[in-house]
């Protein structure tokens, strides 16, 4: 049975009860008075009755509580274990991230979390993982190609591929765990445009070597032996 208690630090009343073997304490803004206790006790009695009957909905009574998400996840897991449903992408992605981040550097954790919770979650968050199709993935990639940044430039193929890599990892892991074929099969990364390379001419190389500090000359001369101009320069020396 739940009870109404007072928090010593604030003097405010709060609900204290158990639901699904988890202790729940929900704060109120009411002062500790007889009228307020009676008022909250009536609510507590109703909660106890609904828990006993199996019809209690945490969100109905405490919609802004952090416990709502926790019980939603528990409910989703129960449905999965019973074979009734696969998890939503947002739920599985959160679980996947929690499991994977231990092996990542902090900077990589921040990057993955930001990209996952940004456009990927907006597009796939509410979809059941096993219902996501190859067409959904290709439409998402096409939408990324249309994004315009503040500087007026569109996302590069390399940046789009980073989003897609995270999505692929989540979907492939979900497919392994819940025994369905990954919709990402057959989707290849976007080709990155070749970088334009305009190397120094031999005259320019000689000009640099003629003007560089003496203690750096050997370094600049042999820094990259594989470069054709360096090989030519070394051969002529």
User: What is the model's pLDDT at position 96?
Assistant: 94
User: Each residue of 149-177: b (16+ CB within 10 Å) or e?
Assistant: eeeeeebeeeebbebbebbbbbbebbbee
Note if the pTM is more than 0.75.
no
Mean pLDDT in residue range 54-83: 83
Is residue 4 classed as helix, strand or coil in its secondary structure?
A: strand
Mean pLDDT in residue range 10-25: 95
| pLDDT tens-place string over residues 130-155 | 899 999 999 999 999 998 888 888 88
Is it the case that residue 207 has pLDDT exceeding 90?
no
Is it the case that residue 222 has pLDDT exceeding 80?
no
The structural domains of the chain, ordered by start, are 3-65 (no CATH), 86-178 (1.10.150.130), 202-236 (no CATH)
Question: Which candidate, 161, 159, 166, 157, places its Cα nearest to that of 120?
Answer: 166
Question: Which candidate, 15, 66, 57, places its Cα nearest to that of 36?
Answer: 15
């Amino acid at each position: 049975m739940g009870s109404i208690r007072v928090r010593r630090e604030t003097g405010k009343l709060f609900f204290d009860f158990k639901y699904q073997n988890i202790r729940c304490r929900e704060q109120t803004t009411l002062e500790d008075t007889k009228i307020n206790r009676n008022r909250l006790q009536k609510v507590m009695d109703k909660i106890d009755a609904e828990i006993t009957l199996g019809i209690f909905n945490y969100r109905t009574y405490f919609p802004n509580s952090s416990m709502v998400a926790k019980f939603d996840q528990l409910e989703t897991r129960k449905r999965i274990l019973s074979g009734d449903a696969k998890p939503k992408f947002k739920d599985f992605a959160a679980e996947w991230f929690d499991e994977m981040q231990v092996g990542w550097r902090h900077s990589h954790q921040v990057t993955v979390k930001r990209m996952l919770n940004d456009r990927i979650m907006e597009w796939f968050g509410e979809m059941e993982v096993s219902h996501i199709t190859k067409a959904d993935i290709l439409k998402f990639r096409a939408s990324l190609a249309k994004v315009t940044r503040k500087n007026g430039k569109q996302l590069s193929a390399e940046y789009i591929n980073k989003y897609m890599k995270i999505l692929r990892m989540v979907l492939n892991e979900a497919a392994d765990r819940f025994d369905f074929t990954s919709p990402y099969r057959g989707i290849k990364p976007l080709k990155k445009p070749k970088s334009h390379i305009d190397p120094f001419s031999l005259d320019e190389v000689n000009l640099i070597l003629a003007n560089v500090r003496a203690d750096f000359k050997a370094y600049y001369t042999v820094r990259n032996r594989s470069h054709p101009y360096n090989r030519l320069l070394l051969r002529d020396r």
